[in-house]
Amino acid sequence: MSFKNLFVSVLCAAFFLAAHGACRGASPTSPNATDLAVLTAKSPTGQAVGSPVPTATPGSPAVVPFAGLPEEVQSYLLATNIKSPRAGLSGGVTRFNKTDQGKRIPILLYAEGFPPDQVEKAVAVLGNDLFEIVSSSTTADVVADLDSSKVPDRGCSTVSQDVDIASHVIVKAVIHVSPDRSGCPRAGEDALAIALAHELGHAVGLFGDIAHTRPGEDFMAIAGRKLLLSPMLAAAIGWLYSAPPGWTTQLY
């Protein structure tokens, strides 16, 4: 079976203002609008709107019904994932889908050139045993590096993803962090851990600038990011990784 993967380009390049990061789109064109046009052109199945066929991942049913989530979390999940243009025309939960015999297994992260403690801190803050750090890029689901040349001008970090639109599954993500560019956070104050955690947040399915939270709130904050998982983010990521890919509110 051949997957028609769609490379969803740069989601977010972090442009740092003063000492703290404010991440916004890399292009003057709205990234969402651009991606929507690409999705329209390449959506492989012509799947009818509202009829994705989610197959519940064995062993990982939605722990909390969507309707049982706080309203703020519901709105955040709808905007950043379920109804994001990156979730395809019909929408639906779009995420990594790592399972083995019904048991969820971690997303494999290879981070090249980062101090190990910064990678460990970034992974730890995402919580919920979502990631496992591996020592090779070959089998990694997410690859991160410190290659400034891959980060758009004036940006500090960026992420791109390979999404199988038909099954609503993220199959690969690539993160670049530019630690040495003027205005970008410097190593030594968990800056690399915060930048990596931020892009990992986008990578796992908190798509686009709309995923940015209030200043100072957590690692997804629009400015003043902290190495902190807010209750809202914890609920959103936790729910996302307990719901089957393709799930939409229209089915319930």
Contact footprint for Zn ion (CB under 5 A) = 12, 23
Contacts of 11 (CB under 8 A, 6+ apart): 31, 86, 158, 159, 160, 161, 202, 207, 208
Judged by CB, which is closer to Zn ion: 167, or 178? 178
CB of 74 to Zn ion, least distance (A): 21
Judged by CB, which is closer to Zn ion: 74, or 157? 157
Copy the structure tokens of residue 234: 């914890």
Judged by CB, which is closer to Zn ion: 62, or 123? 123
Judged by CB, which is closer to Zn ion: 166, or 229? 229
Judged by CB, which is closer to Zn ion: 23, or 163? 23
Place of tokens 């791109």: 160
Copy the structure tokens of residue 85: 């243009």
Calculate helix-pair angle for 191-203, 116-126, nearest 10 degrees: 50
Q: Which of 5, 1, 2 is nearest to 161 (CA)?
A: 5
Return the residue nearest Zn ion (CB atom).
Answer: 23
Rounded Cα distance between 229 and 219, Å, is: 7
Place of tokens 């993220």: 170
CB of 39 to Zn ion, least distance (A): 20
